[in-house]
Amino acid sequence: MTMQYALRIVSLIIAGILAAACSTTPTEEPTLPTRAVVPSPTATLTPTPTHTLTPTPRRTPEPTVILPESIADNPADQVYLRVIHTAPDLETVDVYVERLSIATNLTFGMATGQAGIAVGDYTVRVVPTGNRFNESPLLETTLQLEGGQTRMLLLTGTPDALTLTSIPESTDPLRSGQARATFIHAVPGGRKSRYCKTTTLWYQA
């Protein structure tokens, strides 16, 4: 009985151990932290800046201006010009036929000698002394010249209303002992005048 009793107790102990082992709640493994999914950065395409091409300003070419011939190839095409300054309020001026200078430093009461030029249609400019031929002209007008002529270019008027009058000048040969005088009444609104030598009336205007 003693042996059987001992075996029974052993059996009960083993059964208790097995029952305890079966009823033991298994230890849960610790939950690992979930790794946050970091989205891959989206590549943003930066637009290439558009370069605006600024056109380089071009210099406006000056109009083509001829340089007249002073001496015509054919004597029949030769013309002579004389400039007379009769505008009392006008400053000292230079006078150009196209780019050809025919008067410089011309002041009131002065006249130039004859300047030669070939026939043609030209632009005449009166500019303040020292200016270029086309710089701030005080007067700009056209002039048609025919061969065999000698003409006087008379500056009259005021600086704000300047006039250039073309007057023929006689160059006919004179007999011995003769002379030639030209009288021009160029005073704006001036009174009538008479020029006499002794009893001979030379000029009346």
**Nearby residues of 91 by Cβ (< 8 Å), 6 or more positions away:** 128, 129, 159
Domain 65-170 has CATH 2.70.70.10: no
Averaged over 77-86, what is the pLDDT?
Answer: 94
Angstrom distance (rounded) from CA 119 to CA 18: 142
pLDDT at 33: 60
6 pLDDT tier (thresholds 50, 70, 90): low
Q: Which two tokens stand for residue 166?
A: 């073309």
> Whole-number mean pLDDT of the chain?
79
pLDDT at 179: 83
Cβ distance 127 to 136 under 8 Å? yes
Token pair 């020292």 is found at 130
pLDDT at 81: 95
Domain boundaries, the chain: 65-170
Answer whether 0.75 is exceeded by the pTM: no
pLDDT at 201: 52
Averaged over 128-154, what is the pLDDT?
Answer: 93
Chain-centroid distance of CA 153 in Å reads 33
